[in-house]
């Protein structure tokens, strides 16, 4: 089943210097020969360019069975920088949007707040339950750990047909490189 996994540094506000940071992230992967040097059409959306995954990238996942997917037409790294983006699962996606103060869950009614954030109109959505305002990434979106979380940001990595369960050393390296906690959003088509 085709899949993709997003890694999103979560921070309050837009990621500073996202375009520079995405260049550093790409250089990190290329220095380890984990992705090709030149972009190609290796993503689900064929009109977009990404960086084809190479065999050494298997080390970033706990289960190195990735080599079976390297021959697929769609098998690449997509980099996101600058534009506000909602990173979410597709198939069977649910949305919890739980206030960190009072626990009120807006569910799908939060789409208006998410749209306002994405448009740059409101960085701190208001909870309808208690009227408190929080940074969008402070709302719990994974139903208390029982569902795939959503993430909101201006910097992200997407692995098309890569693995899902990242190795601890890799996540530590990404945290150090970005200076942020990470949110992993797994998805299937």
What pLDDT, in 10s, does the model give residues 139-148? 999 888 778 8
Residue 63 is predicted with a pLDDT of 74
Residue 68 is predicted with a pLDDT of 61
Per domain, the residue ranges of the chain are: 1-93+148-189, 94-147
SS3 17: coil
Checking if the pLDDT of 117 tops 90, the result is: yes
Element (H, E) at 19: helix 18-31
Checking if the pLDDT of 27 tops 90, the result is: yes
Checking if the pLDDT of 161 tops 60, the result is: yes
Spell 84-94 as b/e; 16+ CB within 10 A means b: bbbbbbeeeee
Checking if the pLDDT of 3 tops 90, the result is: no
Residue 133 is predicted with a pLDDT of 97
Residue 9 is predicted with a pLDDT of 97
Q: Residue 52 contacts by C-beta under 8 Å, 6 or more apart in sequence?
A: 35, 36, 40, 42, 75, 76
What is the percent of the chain with per-residue pLDDT over 70, rounded to a whole number? 93
* Spatial distance between the Cα atoms of 180 and 12, rounded to a whole number of angstroms: 10
Q: DSSP 3-state helix, strand, coil percentages of the chain (rounded to 5)?
A: 30, 25, 45
Mean pLDDT across the chain, nearest whole number? Answer: 90
Residue 174 is predicted with a pLDDT of 98
Residue 167 is predicted with a pLDDT of 95
Residue 71, Cβ density class (10 Å: 0-12 exposed, 13-18 middle, ≥19 buried): exposed
SS3 46: coil
The whole-number average pLDDT for the span 181-185 is 95
19-28, 63-72, 82-91, 163-172: which is most confident: 19-28
- How many Å separate Cα 16 from the centre of its chain? 17
Please give the C-alpha separations between residue 99 and each of 102, 140, 145, 182, in angstroms, as whole numbers. 6, 7, 15, 19
* Spatial distance between the Cα atoms of 57 and 51, rounded to a whole number of angstroms: 12
What pLDDT, in 10s, does the model give residues 41-56? 988 887 789 999 999 9
Q: Match 């088509």 to its residue by tokens.
A: 189
Checking if the pLDDT of 98 tops 70, the result is: yes
Residue 92 vs residue 136, higher pLDDT: 136
The whole-number average pLDDT for the span 66-79 is 76
């Amino acid at each position: 089943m085709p899949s993709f996994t997003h890694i999103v540094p979560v921070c309050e506000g837009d990621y500073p210097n996202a375009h520079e940071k995405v260049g550093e992230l790409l250089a990190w992967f290329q220095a380890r020969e984990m992705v090709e040097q030149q972009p190609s059409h290796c993503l689900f959306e064929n009109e977009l360019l990404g960086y084809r995954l190479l065999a050494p990238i298997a080390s970033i996942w706990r289960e190195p069975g990735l080599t079976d997917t390297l021959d697929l037409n769609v098998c690449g790294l997509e980099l996101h920088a600058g534009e506000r983006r909602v990173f979410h699962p597709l198939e069977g996606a649910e949305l919890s949007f739980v206030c960190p103060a009072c626990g009120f869950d807006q569910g799908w009614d939060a789409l208006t707040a998410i749209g306002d954030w994405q448009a740059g109109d409101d960085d701190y959505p208001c909870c309808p339950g208690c009227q408190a305002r929080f940074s969008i990434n402070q709302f719990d979106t994974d139903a208390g750990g029982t569902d795939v979380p959503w993430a909101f940001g201006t910097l992200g990595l997407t692995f098309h047909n890569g693995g899902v369960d990242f190795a601890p050393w890799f996540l530590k390296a990404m945290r150090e490189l970005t200076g942020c906690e990470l949110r992993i959003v797994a998805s299937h088509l």
